[in-house]
Amino acid sequence: MLLKIVLLLALVAQVLVLDNGLLQTPPMGWLSWERFRCNTDCDEDPKNCISERLFMEMADRLAKDGWRDLGYVYLNIDDCWIGGRDAKGLLVPDSKRFPHGIAFLADYAHSLGLKLGIYEDMGNLTCMGYPGTTLDKVEQDAQTFAEWKVDMLKLDGCFSTRMDRAKGYPMMATALNATGRPIAYSCSWPAYEGGLPPMVNYSLLAETCNLWRNYDDIQDSWKDVLSILDWFVLHQDILQPVAGPGHWNDPDMLIIGNFGLSFEQARAQMALWTVLAAPLFMSTDLRTISAQDVEILQNPLMIKINQDPLGIQGRRILQEKSQIEVFKRPLSDEASALVFFSRRTDMPFRYRSTLGRLRFPSSRVYEAQDVFSGQIITGLRDKTNFTVIVNPSGVVMWYLYPIKSLAISKWKSQD
Ligand SMILES: *[C@@H]1O[C@H](CO)[C@@H](O)[C@H](O)[C@H]1NC(C)=O
Ligand SMILES: *[C@@H]1O[C@H](CO)[C@@H](O)[C@H](O)[C@H]1NC(C)=O
Ligand SMILES: *[C@@H]1O[C@H](CO)[C@@H](O)[C@H](O)[C@H]1NC(C)=O
Ligand SMILES: *[C@@H]1O[C@H](CO)[C@@H](O)[C@H](O)[C@H]1NC(C)=O
């Protein structure tokens, strides 16, 4: 009897965390919005309109150009796919642009080893004015997505009230769970409440969603990357502790491969999003992306750092007068990622520092691998002076790991 009660309590306790087992590391993939928006003009622009063809072509690229094998497995539809609701109230895609339906697209993605994500909105209408998921439609829509074999849902928050969202987002989490299909759940909820406590309860979010958009949409410009970064850093004491395996902050898509970033800025977005343990959703044309941008996005050490199993979000740990900022993310095996980021606008800056200054212990000797060049810097002690050359609006990124313990007492000596 007592054992039964204990078991029951254990079950009740489990219900309090989102327990779908998904996204133990940040999701990686491709999302249509930033690059392709709500282009529905398939007559004039058949290659780029939101349509089955666009998603199938991106699926082919993900599978054939090395993306999938590096972890970029989500093929995610954003707004503007919906045609309406049928006589039973069931969602149907636009029949001209998605003639074979969403289940067909999910099968196609799965046949290539990919996962399909879809978009809806917790409100009367989606942000672009397509039918939304009102409270009375939550269960029905969750069931529809599961029947189509969808793997992720991004639920936006346009055309809703605070009360609708407070009810609707948890209701959708329950409804997705009830379908029995593991569906990763991306919530735009906090972005609609200002992203901060007391309006946002991050404990509740972590129990409800696998990832959430905290702040503004990214646009195709460096200014937008900076404004998002600034907001995340300003509020890092709140945001950093709430991220972890299965529940992530989402500073929005990577715009690498588009038109707004220089080479240095593209590397900077990749490095900074990686130390923030951010989802890596590309939103670019994978059919025409340059080799240089592919190299940034497909850097294996970068991806290993982003996907580190501890899932600890990094922080900005130093803001120097020289306008060099240092970010640090703790990784498994006592390793760390360091990003030296320049906000300067003059010329490459020679930044001199020591690991002691970056709060590493004096009891170890470290080695660093430059994430972009592959160069190894070894024998770093806490007082070892080093110099990194950081380009304007660029980064230097290190993967740093201990190679030796400096024994301080005989019985602890290992070397
Ligand atoms: C539903 O929730 C239960 C309890 O939290 C969990 O064990 C189960 O894996 C979930 N199922 C799905 C499909 O998310
Ligand atoms: C949603 O639609 C209902 C019914 O038309 C309306 O009463 C409500 O004000 C709308 N809510 C929002 C946030 O637009
Ligand atoms: C936030 O949500 C958690 C989990 O549901 C709850 O225990 C806590 O009381 C909430 N905090 C506030 C300030 O409402
Ligand atoms: C590091 O540089 C400082 C001057 O910037 C110097 O005083 C110090 O001795 C150097 N440390 C080592 C270990 O070379």
Q: Which ligand is nearest to the CA of 164?
A: 2
- Nearest residue by C-alpha to atom 9 in ligand 1: 20
- Nearest residue by C-alpha to atom 3 in ligand 2: 124
CATH topology of domain 315-412: Immunoglobulin-like (2.60.40)
CA-CA-CA-CA torsion sign (232, 238, 243, 249): negative
Q: Residue 408: what pLDDT?
A: 63
Ligand 1: which of 177, 181, 208, 209 to mutate, judged by most atoms within 8 Å of the beta carbon? Answer: 177
Tokens of 198: 């007391």
186, 152 in Cβ contact below 8 A? yes
Residue closest to 265 by CA, chosen among 393, 398, 373: 393
| Alpha carbons 380 and 377: distance in angstroms, whole number | 7
Average pLDDT of 104-130?
98
Residue 378's CB: how many other CB atoms inside 10 A? Answer: 10
Structural Rg of the chain based on CA atoms: 23
How buried is 26 (Cβ within 10 angstroms: 0-12 exposed, 13-18 middle, 19+ buried)? buried
**Concatenated DSSP letters of 353-385:** E-TTTTT--TTEEEEEEETTT--EEEEE-TT--
- Measured in Å, residue 124 CA sits from the centre of ligand 2 at 6
| Alpha carbons 358 and 127: distance in angstroms, whole number | 43
Q: Which ligand is nearest to the CA of 125?
A: 2
Ligand 4: which of 385, 386, 387 to mutate, judged by most atoms within 8 Å of the beta carbon? Answer: 385
3-53 tens-digit pLDDT: 444 444 444 444 445 889 999 999 999 999 999 999 999 999 999 999 999
Identify whether 346 is a catalytic site residue. no
Amino acid at 249: N
- Measured in Å, residue 92 CA sits from the centre of ligand 1 at 27
Neighbouring residues of 340: CB distance < 8 A, sequence distance ≥ 6: 324, 325, 326, 351, 388, 390, 395, 396, 397, 398
- The number of angstroms, rounded, from the C-alpha of 25 to the middle of its chain's C-alpha atoms is 9
312-332 tens-digit pLDDT: 999 999 999 999 999 999 999
Q: Name the 3-class secondary structure at 59.
A: helix
Neighbouring residues of 201: CB distance < 8 A, sequence distance ≥ 6: none
| DSSP H or E run through 296 | helix 291-297
- The number of angstroms, rounded, from the C-alpha of 103 to the middle of its chain's C-alpha atoms is 25
- Domain(s) labelled CATH 2.60.40.1180 in the chain stretch across 315-412
- Nearest residue by C-alpha to atom 3 in ligand 1: 19
Q: Which ligand is nearest to the CA of 179?
A: 1
Average pLDDT of 270-297?
99
Q: Residue 46: what pLDDT?
A: 98
- Measured in Å, residue 30 CA sits from the centre of ligand 3 at 33
- Measured in Å, residue 161 CA sits from the centre of ligand 2 at 8
215-243 tens-digit pLDDT: 999 999 999 999 999 999 999 999 999 99
- Nearest residue by C-alpha to atom 1 in ligand 1: 177
* Annotated catalytic residue within 107, 216, 217, 220: 217
Amino acid at 69: D
Q: Residue 412: what pLDDT?
A: 47
Neighbouring residues of 301: CB distance < 8 A, sequence distance ≥ 6: 369, 371, 374, 399
Task: Count Cα neighbours of 352 within 13 Å in the Cβ-side half-sphere.
Answer: 3
- Nearest residue by C-alpha to atom 4 in ligand 2: 124
| Alpha carbons 221 and 210: distance in angstroms, whole number | 27
Residue closest to 191 by CA, chosen among 229, 162, 167, 226: 162
- Measured in Å, residue 398 CA sits from the centre of ligand 2 at 51
Q: Which ligand is nearest to the CA of 353?
A: 4
Task: Count Cα neighbours of 12 within 13 Å in the Cβ-side half-sphere.
Answer: 6
- Band of pLDDT at residue 82, cut at 50, 70 and 90: very high
Q: Is 14 in the pocket of ligand 1 (CB under 6 A)?
A: yes
Task: Count Cα neighbours of 384 within 13 Å in the Cβ-side half-sphere.
Answer: 19
Instruction: Mark 134-161 as b/e (b = at least 16 C-beta within 10 Å).
Output: beebbbebbbbbbebbbbbbbbbbbbbe
Instruction: Point out the ligand 3 atom lying closest to the alpha carbon of residue 201.
Output: 1
> What average pLDDT does the structure give for the chain?
95
Amino acid at 160: S
Examine the pLDDT at 148 and tell me if it is beyond 70: yes
How buried is 301 (Cβ within 10 angstroms: 0-12 exposed, 13-18 middle, 19+ buried)? middle
| pLDDT more than 90, % of the chain | 93
193-205 tens-digit pLDDT: 999 999 999 999 9
Q: Which CATH class is domain 23-306?
A: alpha beta
Residue closest to 329 by CA, chosen among 5, 26, 125, 16: 26
Q: Residue 19: what pLDDT?
A: 87
* Annotated catalytic residue within 156, 164, 252, 308: 156
Q: Residue 413: what pLDDT?
A: 43
Q: Name the 3-class secondary structure at 38.
A: coil
| Alpha carbons 34 and 23: distance in angstroms, whole number | 22
Identify whether 217 is a catalytic site residue. yes
Q: Residue 17: what pLDDT?
A: 53
Average pLDDT of 114-124?
99
Q: Is 287 in the pocket of ligand 4 (CB under 6 A)?
A: no
Q: Residue 57: what pLDDT?
A: 99
Q: Is 15 in the pocket of ligand 1 (CB under 6 A)?
A: yes
33, 255 in Cβ contact below 8 A? no
Q: Is 383 in the pocket of ligand 4 (CB under 6 A)?
A: yes
Q: Residue 407: what pLDDT?
A: 72
- Domain(s) labelled CATH 3.20.20.70 in the chain stretch across 23-306
Q: Is 385 in the pocket of ligand 4 (CB under 6 A)?
A: yes
| Alpha carbons 110 and 317: distance in angstroms, whole number | 41
- Measured in Å, residue 125 CA sits from the centre of ligand 2 at 9
Tokens of 130: 């397509």
Q: Which ligand is nearest to the CA of 203?
A: 3
Tokens of 324: 């060099």
Q: Is 133 in the pocket of ligand 2 (CB under 6 A)?
A: no
Q: Residue 118: what pLDDT?
A: 99
Q: Is 160 in the pocket of ligand 2 (CB under 6 A)?
A: yes
| DSSP H or E run through 153 | strand 152-156
| Alpha carbons 56 and 196: distance in angstroms, whole number | 38
Average pLDDT of 351-364?
97
Examine the pLDDT at 2 and tell me if it is beyond 50: no
